[in-house]
A and B are shown apart, each in its own frame.
Chain A
Amino acid sequence: MNPTLLVFLYALTTALATGLGALPFLFVKTMSPRAIAYANALAAGLMMGASFGLVSEGTGAGAAQTVTGGLLGVLGILAVRRWLRGRPVEFGGVRGAGARPMVLLIIVMTAHSFSEGVAVGVSFGGGAALALAITIAIAVHNIPEGLAISAVMRSRGQSVLACAGWSICSSLPQPLMAVPAFLLVEAVRPVLPFGLGFAAGAMAFMVLDELLPDAYEQGPKPLVAILVSVAIIGMAVFQHAL
């Protein structure tokens, strides 16, 4: 098969895997305020752990570039939020303040898979023999990211199907970006640490500015803290193992 098509198909598989993160919510019918706090805490921990992983990968290629990218990511989220503020936001039947975190989260996670797609393409350029192993690793790695998105959306009244759909959509930039990155490895490589840092900064800011304070307001602090910490540790170990 044409190697470019192969990269696209492999990366598309990884995007579809993100949708699997919605499956646990098939078994959750209604969510009490406390359960919503735990969902926010879980999403916060998974995203913080993922941003630790991105930083570690990015700084391997350039620490200053990664941290600069991180600050740009924070500024990017602030800019998007300011832009959203003046506009009537509606998402899945939810208006205003309740809809904003969902819209922001999807934007953040889409930006993040944009960078991840570039990382996939660059790593494919390193050797096609590893392609299948990398694909499986990224696909499995995407499932908890889908879980984070679904935890936030499901706790704000969205259907499991919508959770799965938006999880997959947020990962679509992966196959779309992997192909040009694969074809232009040498040109893309220097930009990669900025991109990884951008994604990490945007995700960490989203956690600290929205998910975490929400979780502390809605649930008992020690349990929220344990859930966040265990999720960070789990995500860090899990992504490092892949």
Chain B
Amino acid sequence: MDPAWRVLIYSSVAAATAAFGALPLASGRTQPLRLFGWANALASGLMLGVAYSLMAVSLDRGLAQTGLGALAGIACITLARAVAGTAGVIRLGAIHAVPEGIAIGVAMAAGLPFGALMTTALAVHNIPEATVAIATMTRRGTSLTLATLLAVAANVNQVVFALAAFLLVSAVPVLLPWTLGFAFGALLYLVMVELLPDSYRDAGRTSIALVTIVAMGIVVLLHDGGR
């Protein structure tokens, strides 16, 4: 298979898994707030695990490039959040999807097994992330079906940026540590500025810490165990 097609298919599947986020809400009953805290913590832990793996791979390929790329990642997310303002679950979701897509694309360019693992981790991450987004929308009166479609649609960026990042890095391999570093910094900052603070708001800190660490540990085990 042509590698670019593979990236397109993998990232599309990862984007579409967001639809599973509707399952915990399908019963129509109001779920306890804690559930959303844990969903955010699960999303945080998986994303931290992905950020750690990107960092580990990137540091071996270029120290300064990783560090500077990561700082650029933080700067870009800060800028995007400032431009988007506070309005809109969808707009925030679309911002998240950009570094996730870049992570998938550059990880695929770094090697297929690594890329497949990062895509899987981010695909699973998309599920609890979507649960929180869909619940926010239905609380404001959107129907469950429409909210689910919107949550998946917000992930279109993920496919576009995965493909763009993959093609760019494949054409200019020198960029690999810069872009791996960029994705590492951007995902790390998203966890710190949105996912974790939201988790602590909705559930007790010890349960949040446990869910986050276990999710992160699973990604670390799958990544470092396969080296």
Contact = CB atoms under 8 A, between A and B. Distances in A.
Given A216-B197, A241-B63, A232 B227 contact: no
B74 A52 contact: no
B206 interface: yes
B213 A59 contact: no
B192 interface: yes
Interface stretch (B17-25, B51-59, B141-149, B156-164): B51-59
B80 to A, nearest CB: 12
Nearest to B210: A74
Interface stretch (A101-109, A138-146, A207-215): A207-215
Interface stretch (A18-26, A62-70, A156-164, A176-184): A62-70
B155 to A, nearest CB: 23
A129 to B, nearest CB: 24
A228 interface: yes
Nearest to B212: A208
Interface in B203-227: 205-206, 208-210, 212-214, 216-217, 220-221, 224-225, 227
Interface in B103-142: none
A233 B221 contact: no
B196 A71 contact: no
Interface string B69-98: 011001000100100000000000000000
A76 B56 CA distance: 27
B40 interface: no
Interface residues of B toward A: which range? 35 or more
B63 to A, nearest CB: 6
Interface residues of A, number: 37
B42 interface: no
Contacts of A52: 52, 55
A225 interface: yes
A229 B213 contact: no
A85 interface: no
Contacts of A210: 205
A201 B56 CA distance: 17
B61 to A, nearest CB: 11
Contacts of A64: 221, 225
Interface of A: 52, 55-56, 59-60, 63-64, 66-67, 70-71, 74, 78, 201, 204-205, 208-210, 212-213, 216, 221-222, 224-226, 228-230, 232-234, 236-237, 240-241
5 contacts: A60-B224, A63-B221, A208-B212, A222-B78, A222-B81
Given A228-B192, A229-B70, 9 more contacts: A63-B221, A63-B224, A63-B225, A71-B214, A208-B209, A208-B213, A209-B208, A226-B74, A241-B63
